[in-house]
Amino acid sequence: MAAVGAVATAWPFISQMNPDAATIAAGAPIEVDLTPIAEGQDIKVFWRGKPIYIMNRTKKQVEEAQKVPLSSLPDPQTDQQRTKAGHEQWLVVVGICTHLGCIPIAHEGQYDGFFCPCHGSVYDTSGRIRQGPAPANLAVPPYAFLSDTKIQIG
Amino acid sequence: MSGPSDFQPTNPALKWIERRLPIMGLVHSSFVAYPTPRNLNYWWTFGAILSFMLAMQIATGVILAMHYTPHADLAFKSVELIVRDVNFGWLLRNMHACGASMFFFAVYVHMFRGLYYGSYKEPREVLWILGVIIYLLMMATGFMGYVLPWGQMSFWGATVITNLFSAIPYVGESIVTLLWGGYAVGNPTLNRFFSLHYLLPFVIAGVVVLHVWALHVAGQNNPAGVEMKTEKDSVPFTPHATIKDMFGVSVFLLLYAWFIFYMPNYLGDAENYVPANPGVTPAHIVPEWYYLPFYAILRSIPNKLAGVVAMFGAIIILAFLPWLDSARTKSSKYRPLAKQFFWIFVVVCIGLGYLGAQPPEGIYVIVGRILTVMYFAYFLVVLPLLARIEKPRPLPNSIADDVLAKTGSKTAPMVSTVIALMIAGGLFVGSAQNVSAAEGQQKPPANKWSFSGPFGKFDRGALQRGLKVYKEVCSACHGLSFVAFRNLADPGGPGYSTAQAAAFASEYKIKDGPNDQGEMFERPGRPADYFPSPFPNEQAARAANGGAAPPDLSLITKARTYGRGFPTFIFDFFTQYQEQGPDYLVALLQGYEDKPPAGFNLPAGSFYNTYFPGHAIKMPKPLSDGQVTFDDGSPATVAQYAKDVTTFLMWAAEPHMEARKRLGLQVFVFLILLAGLLYFTKKKVWATAH
């Protein structure tokens, strides 16, 4: 009984460390207009304090991303799984290296994708890890196309 | 060892207290009558040095907390205001920041000493483990303290270290969110780190009490590694150990003061003078020098979880040392093989420290892996094996015998060589981080600065001319937001009178308000106002300048550096070279080339600069001959402008530099006298013991 009481008392002391109500509210979905992003360009928006890369990929980049054999990937995922059908040129990824949280630089590294300057992880044009210590692909945040030129992240 | 004390106060009032709380007896038995081995060398003074450093860090830390603001928007500024405006704030901040490095330096010496002389062996296992706990707490405290100034390295260091926990399977991500109190490192993180950074030193102090208690139960180990048997083996703690420790502390203070007064930024990272920016990762994230060996281990393992496990394992393994090394002989003095492996291990640790500061590529990764294997092999293979196969040399019968045998042959030269080696090694690791920025950048030539060296002073004429260059040229794009007009009349500055500073301020239009109608209005500047920034915010600055925001210049001479390279940075410690920033700046201002060299692809909207990392700079050539007219007849050339404005910006970055160097000289004269007096007192006290 006393143990139950102790655990129940400990809960508020631990729970207070999680994001507070204001932080959660500020993390609500955002809408992003895609019209200003030309082919081959990318923008970085912030959602929940995280940088999100939105990249308008060139035909060549899309083809490269789709052609890669899955067996050569440390974290196998097809490009189709990482983009929305009908909007294949758009790559939306969280710009946080899955190793230790640095921000990779877009259009760098030998795969023309992302390169993390901290510990040398290299991602391809689909944001998939190709080389370096990072264990996983760049995360794809939850998002949906509201129209052809507008997405909602979150 | 410290049994019930026979101490009896004679004063009736003290007697009354002692009967109810025998505290004087406790102090007497622990720190006066307590028997210490006669043969302790100076490596044993580091315990006292560490206690001193802990007290120092707590004292300066509590004071700094009175002036510091733990908020993401204000923390960086509040630290700058401590340094600029609080009386002796620069001193307290330097003492605390350099103190952390000194604390770790001393703890590493203390640990290596324990390792060499087998101080972890029976009956001191618990004593050793308590030490490992203190070390872990120190690492946590040091890490959180480094986050508080909220510079770029603070922010990204916090991001990398907290992300280590995301390697834990299944619950990792939730734990990281719990640590952050948000979806990324931010204000809640800073706030809780401040709270814990304030708490943990007192926890350390508590564990230190246990550590000392355990020490006093088991008794001190000693260089011979044989236990005390008779009265002849020991000397009373006071005066013998007390005076020796005091001498040790005073010598240590000389090193500490060298950093505080002459090299305050030597062990820090220039990047931390840039305010935290969640959108930009610095090119190289480097932790403080004292974590570098473990950082190297983390990076040398290509798997994330395994890397994190290895990094923590490298520390935790120390706690198991008493059982990994089962050799009966304690001191490596009598273990011919263990002694050699110990020194190899020291070199491995320093090597890992060096690699931790290097970019994770090519040869560095390979060497890092080799050294990581060697690090673990020392504990898991070498020590267990040596315990079985090594034939130790005969031990002296007693400590007294050891002392008598030694009187003929002095071991002092060996010890001082080792000290020199350790310091050199520490420096090597400490400033290795500066090397990291080296690649892809041409080294700027060295200049002669009036403010360099221990007696450096600013050239008033150069400061006044530099202010003019800033006002007429740089201020069009660059802010100087930490400098107020009143500072122009401060001692150690450009040497204007208060009236001149007020007149200078009144030429500026300052936005103020709201007034009674609720509207903002402009008024002439006052001495208390700060230099107004040319752009209202970073976005506006970025938009107006082709995507690259012109940085604020208040701290630019401390926020920019270049790789000094090995072995230059070791000499820098002795020559007090601290002018990387000014040298870089003055070279940059003159480093523009009209045409980039053949084969260099200059992006549109950029300019070629020899000294800018990557060479493509967005700032157009800012200075040209004849642009600014000087009243004192100095030549109106780019070289002169560059040098003057750099001098001015050095002053802007550290307005109390002259006071720092002046006080440093006084402190050194005092400390040298003190150390000398303590040395001769110590000699006198120990005359009969040797």
B163 shares contact with chain A (CB less than 8 Å): yes
Whether B531 contacts B485, CB under 8 Å: yes
The predicted structure's pLDDT at residue B441? 62
CA dist., res. A49 & res. B278, Å (int) = 8
pLDDT tens, position by position, A12-54: 988 888 888 888 888 889 999 998 888 888 888 888 888 899 9
Contact criterion met (CB < 8 Å) for B178 and A46: no
- Residue B416: pLDDT band with limits 50, 70, 90: low
Nearest to B208 by CA among B104, B138, B120, B121: B138
Q: Which of A119, A122, A129 to mutate to test the interface with B (most CBs of B within 10 A)?
A: A119
Whether B325 contacts B383, CB under 8 Å: yes
Contact criterion met (CB < 8 Å) for B181 and A133: no
The arithmetic mean of pLDDT across residues B415-433, rounded, is 62
User: In the predicted model, is pLDDT for residue B402 greater than 90?
Assistant: no
pLDDT tens, position by position, B59-71: 999 999 999 999 9
CA dist., res. B68 & res. B79, Å (int) = 6
Contact criterion met (CB < 8 Å) for B281 and A46: no
Residue B663: count of CB within 10 angstroms of its CB: 17
Distance from CA of B481 to the nearest CA of A (A): 26
A chain contacts of residue B304, beta-carbon cutoff 8 Å: 99, 133-135
Q: Any long-range contacts for B109-114 (C-beta under 8 Å, 24+ apart)?
A: B109/B43, B109/B46, B109/B422, B110/B46, B110/B47, B110/B50, B111/B135, B111/B318, B112/B346, B112/B422, B113/B43, B113/B44, B113/B46, B114/B221
Contact criterion met (CB < 8 Å) for A18 and B178: yes
Contacts of A95 (CB under 8 A, 6+ apart): A44, A50, A51, A52, A53, A103, A104, A106, A114, A138
Q: Which amino acid belongs to residue B179?
A: L
The predicted structure's pLDDT at residue A50? 86
- Closest to A19 (Cβ–Cβ): which among B164, B181, B285? B181
pLDDT tens, position by position, B476-489: 999 999 999 999 99
> What single string gives the DSSP state of each residue in B177-200?
HHHHTSSSS-HHHHHHHHHHHHHH
Q: Is A119 a catalytic residue?
A: yes
A chain contacts of residue B307, beta-carbon cutoff 8 Å: 133
User: In the predicted model, is pLDDT for residue B417 greater than 70?
Assistant: no
Q: In whole numbers, what is the pLDDT of chain A averaged over residues?
A: 87
B chain contacts of residue A134, beta-carbon cutoff 8 Å: 304
- In three-state secondary structure terms, B112 is helix
- Closest to A118 (Cβ–Cβ): which among B192, B281, B307? B281
CA dist., res. B598 & res. B426, Å (int) = 43
Length of chain B: 690
Task: Note the helical H segments in A1-154.
Answer: 2-15, 21-26, 59-67, 79-82
The predicted structure's pLDDT at residue B231? 87
Higher-confidence position of B436 and B189: B189
pLDDT-above-70 percentage for chain B: 94
User: In the predicted model, is pLDDT for residue A117 greater than 60?
Assistant: yes
Closest-CA residue of A relative to B162 is A100
CA dist., res. B647 & res. B657, Å (int) = 12
Q: Is the peptide bond before B123 cis (omega within 30 degrees of 0)?
A: yes
Nearest to B219 by CA among B6, B24, B43, B44: B44
Residue B203: count of CB within 10 angstroms of its CB: 15
Q: Which residues pair with B524 in a beta bridge?
A: B509
Which of 176-215 (B) contact A at CB < 8 A?
177-184, 186, 188, 192
The arithmetic mean of pLDDT across residues B504-513, rounded, is 93
Residue B655: count of CB within 10 angstroms of its CB: 23
Q: Which residues pair with B682 in a beta bridge?
A: none
CA dist., res. B22 & res. B19, Å (int) = 6
Closest-CA residue of B relative to A22 is B182
Distance from CA of A43 to the nearest CA of B (A): 12
Whether A118 contacts A102, CB under 8 Å: yes
pLDDT tens, position by position, B287-326: 999 999 999 999 888 888 999 999 999 999 999 999 999 9
Nearest to A106 by CA among A45, A32, A34, A152: A45
Written as six digits, the tokens of A124 are: 């391809």
Q: Which of B304, B363, B365, B538 to mutate to test the interface with A (most CBs of A within 10 A)?
A: B304
Collect all residues from A whose CB is shorter than 8 A from any CB in B.
Answer: 14, 17-20, 23, 27, 44, 46, 48-51, 99-103, 116-120, 133-135
- Closest to B184 (Cβ–Cβ): which among A20, A49, A102? A49
Three-state DSSP string of B7-33: CCCCCHHHHHHHHHCCHHHHHHHHHCC
A chain contacts of residue B284, beta-carbon cutoff 8 Å: 117-118
Higher-confidence position of B534 and B601: B534
B chain contacts of residue A18, beta-carbon cutoff 8 Å: 177-178, 181
Written as six digits, the tokens of B14 are: 């003290």
Q: In whole numbers, what is the pLDDT of chain B averaged over residues?
A: 91
Whether B416 contacts B424, CB under 8 Å: no
The predicted structure's pLDDT at residue B645? 97
The predicted structure's pLDDT at residue B348? 96
Whether B296 contacts B372, CB under 8 Å: yes
Kind and range of the H or E element at A77? none
Contact criterion met (CB < 8 Å) for B178 and A99: no
Nearest to B256 by CA among B668, B678, B670: B668
- Closest to B285 (Cβ–Cβ): which among A49, A118, A133? A118
B chain contacts of residue A102, beta-carbon cutoff 8 Å: 156, 159-160, 281, 285
Contact criterion met (CB < 8 Å) for B278 and A49: yes
Strand order in the sheet with A143-147: A30-33, A150-153, A143-147
Contacts of B116 (CB under 8 A, 6+ apart): B331, B332, B339, B342
Nearest to A122 by CA among B673, B279, B360, B239: B360
Higher-confidence position of B92 and A117: B92
User: In the predicted model, is pLDDT for residue B433 greater than 50?
Assistant: no
The predicted structure's pLDDT at residue B407? 59
- Closest to A49 (Cβ–Cβ): which among B164, B183, B284? B183
Which has the minimum average pLDDT: B79-83, B408-412, B664-668?
Answer: B408-412
The arithmetic mean of pLDDT across residues B633-661, rounded, is 96
CA dist., res. A111 & res. B683, Å (int) = 69
Which is catalytic among the residues A87, A99, A107, A119?
A119
User: In the predicted model, is pLDDT for residue B76 greater than 80?
Assistant: yes
- Number of A/B CB contacts below 8 angstroms equals 81
Distance from CA of B186 to the nearest CA of A (A): 8
CA dist., res. B429 & res. B284, Å (int) = 16
B524 shares contact with chain A (CB less than 8 Å): no
CA dist., res. B321 & res. B380, Å (int) = 9
> What single string gives the DSSP state of each residue in B126-162?
HHHHHHHHHHHHHHHHHHHHHHTT-BHHHHHHHHHHH
CA dist., res. B164 & res. A119, Å (int) = 13
Three-state DSSP string of B88-101: CHHHHHHHHHHHHH
User: Helix (H) and strand (E) counts for chain B?
Assistant: 27, 7
User: In the predicted model, is pLDDT for residue B46 greater than 80?
Assistant: yes
Q: Which residues pair with B509 in a beta bridge?
A: B524
Which has the minimum average pLDDT: A4-8, B139-143, B460-464, B685-689?
Answer: B685-689
Give CA separation, B47 vs B107, B422, B507, in Å.
8, 17, 58
Phi, psi (degrees; rounded to nearest 5) at B626: 80, 5
Contact criterion met (CB < 8 Å) for A133 and B299: yes
- Residue B583: pLDDT band with limits 50, 70, 90: very high
Higher-confidence position of B616 and B644: B644
Q: CA B506 from chain center: how many Å?
A: 41
- Residue B95: pLDDT band with limits 50, 70, 90: very high
The predicted structure's pLDDT at residue A148? 87
B275: which DSSP letter? B
The arithmetic mean of pLDDT across residues B431-460, rounded, is 76
The predicted structure's pLDDT at residue B434? 46
Percent helix, strand and coil across chain A, each rounded to 5? 25, 30, 50
Contact criterion met (CB < 8 Å) for B156 and A102: yes
Closest-CA residue of B relative to A74 is B303
B284 shares contact with chain A (CB less than 8 Å): yes
The arithmetic mean of pLDDT across residues B591-600, rounded, is 87
- Residue B1: pLDDT band with limits 50, 70, 90: very low
User: In the predicted model, is pLDDT for residue A6 greater than 70?
Assistant: yes
Closest-CA residue of A relative to B179 is A17
Give CA separation, B351 vs B287, B298, B345, B484, B571, in Å.
16, 14, 10, 45, 19
ipTM of the complex: 0.75
B279 shares contact with chain A (CB less than 8 Å): yes
Q: CA A41 from chain center: how many Å?
A: 17
CA dist., res. B194 & res. B1, Å (int) = 40
Phi, psi (degrees; rounded to nearest 5) at B410: -80, 130
Q: Any long-range contacts for B681-685 (C-beta under 8 Å, 24+ apart)?
A: B681/B243, B681/B247, B682/B243, B682/B244, B682/B246, B682/B247, B685/B239, B685/B240, B685/B243
- In three-state secondary structure terms, B510 is strand
Phi, psi (degrees; rounded to nearest 5) at A113: -110, -100
The predicted structure's pLDDT at residue B684? 94
Contacts of B117 (CB under 8 A, 6+ apart): B43, B221, B222, B223, B225, B330, B331, B332, B333
User: In the predicted model, is pLDDT for residue B426 greater than 70?
Assistant: no
Q: CA B668 from chain center: how many Å?
A: 20
User: In the predicted model, is pLDDT for residue B3 greater than 70?
Assistant: no
User: In the predicted model, is pLDDT for residue B439 greater than 60?
Assistant: no
CA–CA–CA angle A60, A64, A69 (5° rounding): 165
pLDDT tens, position by position, B177-231: 999 998 889 999 999 999 999 999 999 999 999 999 999 999 999 999 999 988 8
The predicted structure's pLDDT at residue B2? 45
A chain contacts of residue B182, beta-carbon cutoff 8 Å: 19, 23, 48-49
Closest-CA residue of B relative to A51 is B279
Closest-CA residue of B relative to A27 is B183
The predicted structure's pLDDT at residue B219? 92
